[in-house]
Amino acid sequence: MFVLLGTNGQDLLVDAESKLVMVHTAVRKLAGFNPKSPEVIALWYAVVAQFGHRYR
């Protein structure tokens, strides 16, 4: 798994093994590489757990 972080809140989360990709679009007022929100991370892990091959 890996994550590509945009400067204004955009993220691309990838689980290559399961062939899952999640795109998070957002716009922050100030540019910067801030930590992801816990909600986005929780959603990503739930999607991978539900639909990913590695967790079945």
Q: Is the pLDDT of residue 21 over 90?
A: yes
User: For residue 13, with 0-12 CB atoms within 10 Å meaning exposed, 13-18 middle and 19 or more buried, which class applies?
Assistant: buried
Report whether 32 contacts 17 (CB < 8 A): no
Q: Which whole number is the average pLDDT over 15-26?
A: 92
Q: Is the pLDDT of residue 30 over 80?
A: no
- Quick one: pLDDT at residue 19? 92
Residue with the bigger pLDDT between 38 and 54: it is 38
Q: Is the pLDDT of residue 17 over 70?
A: yes
